[in-house]
Structures are given as structure tokens and as C-alpha cells.
Amino acid sequence: MTYDMVGLARSLIDIDSTTGQEGAVARWLAGWLRGRGYDVDEQPVEGDRVNLYVTLGQPLVVMSTHLDCVPPYFPSREEGGKLYGRGACDAKGIAAAQIGALEQIRTSGEKRVGLLFVVGEEQGSHGAHAANRVAPGSRYLIDGEPTDNRLGAATRGVYRVRLHARGRAAHSSHPEQGVSAIEKLLDALMELRELSLPTSPALGNTSYTVALIDGGVAPNVVPPQASAEVNFRIVGPAKNVRTALAPLTRLVELEDVIEVPPVEMATVPGFETAVFPFTTDIPFLSAWGAPLLFGPGSVLLAHTADEHVRLDELHAAVGHYAQIAETLLARD
């Protein structure tokens, strides 16, 4: 039975699976895989959202990636040796390459490699949390994210915190009668620029993005409240960043939103390694075995209006995934 990897990738891309709407792509892919003789376990997550656990036997090595994408959706096209579309590199092209690797591996009769496709990675990792509760006893997890076909030695974590500023409302014609929460928030954000944040020899410097700001009630009212959400890419425990933020508490209240720790990963010989600043589902799939991180495409193109992956890189990833899986099996 022939296998058209690029055709499969395009079929996946052309089904909109913005986070929360993965049901259609999961159902389509489950049917496609069953048609090729795979056992497919649909793991319920929420509503019609399901993870797909794909096997031929009892896997020791599982290749995994996610089926959801960020908005806005746009369909696939091929141009100039590249595959474009939402999810081309993050991560439907990766899913197609992992399936291609398993197709290659199964030709030798090897049944100890499987696949796990999860939902919700881009927001909340709900699929990974659900999958971790039913882990089958695999020993290695090869997580697929765009790493330019390099093995990840480590990834930074995430610490997201909300800053709340409290003020006192007053008529804007008498601002001295009120306290502007927006001005307090701005003062805190300016002070944030000057703080010394944690560093790591392996992972580098903590970075951050002020991602969301909200405040005020009307143009003619001194704003009684304001808030900002700040996303830190952390290189150690989140508590170290929280300690560094302590001086801001005279201006704002701090509310923890999300914490994902940094992760060090296994590697195999023969591949370039790198440290990546993004996070993955790996911390939430701890029961699936020792983690590795690998995938075609660049994270610099993920989530952009120009998202694409080079076709030669995508084809090369098939052999790379197979090589990594076979090396891990030989360790057992």
C-alpha cells in the first residue's frame, strides 16, 4: 500500500483544527489509520475531542505530536519546494512524518513502535493530561515539535503571571480625587524592565513578554483597576522568578496563572542537539517514558501568517524518526 506523506499532511492541514475544534481531524485521521491496518484507541478528552493512540503491538517507543493549531486557520498549498498552511510545521507536517516513519519501521515486522496524537497542546495541554492518566507502559516518548530536525537537549519552561493594580475611581475632571490603576500598572511594568531575572548556564537568560493588558471603565473615569498578563520563559524553578518580582508587590498584586517547568531530555548519537526556548507537552506526558524532542520545520515560522516547512526537510524527518526509534529499541 503506497503512502503519500505530503498528501496526508495536506489533508490534515485542510481540516481546521484550531484548539478546541480538533474532533473532525481526529475522526478523519483515525479512519485513515484504521484503513491501513493500525489499531486506534480514541481516548476521550472533552466533548468530541479525542487523543489517538496508534499501535500494531505493544510499543516501547511512542512518537507523539499534537493535532490542534493556533488561529487563524488557512489551507495548504505547495510552492517553491515548501508546504504552506496552518499546522504545516506545527504540527501536522510532523504528524505525517511520524506516520511515514512508522510505515517504514513496520515493513521489517517491528511492532514495538506506536503513535500518540493529542489535542489541546496550544492551550492548556488538556490532551496530554488525559493521555498521562492512561499511559501504556512505553519506555521512550519522541515528542514532535519544529526543531529544524535537531534533537532537543532541553527546553525552557513557562511561568505566566497576572499583575493586578488597584486604584480608586473619580471623575476625570478631578483626577486628584482618585488613584489611577493604569498608572500604577505602568509603573510596575517599567520597573519590571530593570529587575534582575534568573539565568542558567545551560538554558540562558529568563525572557518575558507582556502579552495582555486591560484596564479602566470609561474615558471620563479615573481607572479603578488594571491588569497585565506576563509570560516568562523560565530557566529554573518558577519560584525564583516569583522572588525576583517581589519589589513589584508594592504596586500590584501577583496572581499565578500557569507554571510549566524546564525539561532536560534524552538524546541519541548522530544528531545535532540544541536547547529550545519554547515549551511542549513533555512535562505532562511523564508516564510515557524518557522524553526526546525532534521535528522538521522552524519554530520561528510556527504561528505566523507564513507558516511552512521545506519539503526536503519533511521527507528527511521520516528517516530520522525511524532511526531514532530503532536506536532506542536497540538500547532495550
Which residues are catalytic, by number?
Answer: 121
290-293, strands of its sheet edge to edge: 39-46, 49-55, 113-118, 61-66, 140-143, 290-293
Rounded distance, CA 309 to CA 226, Å? 40
Q: Which three cell numbers stand for residue 179?
A: 488613584
290 C-beta neighbours (distance < 10 Å), count: 14
Residue 6 to residues 31, 95, 103, 145, 203: CA-CA distances in angstroms?
18, 11, 14, 17, 34
Relative to beta strand 82-84, strand 157-166 is unpaired
Burial, 165: exposed, middle or buried (Cβ in 10 Å; 0-12, 13-18, 19+)? buried
Rounded distance, CA 316 to CA 129, Å? 31
Give the three-state DSSP class for 293: strand
* Cβ-proximal residues to 282 (8 Å cutoff; 6+ apart), any chain: 141, 143, 155, 263, 265, 291, 293
Partners of 79 in the beta sheet? 82
Nearest to 138 by CA among 67, 57, 65, 66: 57
* Widest CA span in the chain: 80
Rounded distance, CA 135 to CA 114, Å? 12
Mind giving me the DSSP string for 66-122? Answer: E--BPSSP---EEETTEEESTTTTTTHHHHHHHHHHHHHHHTTT--SEEEEEES-TT
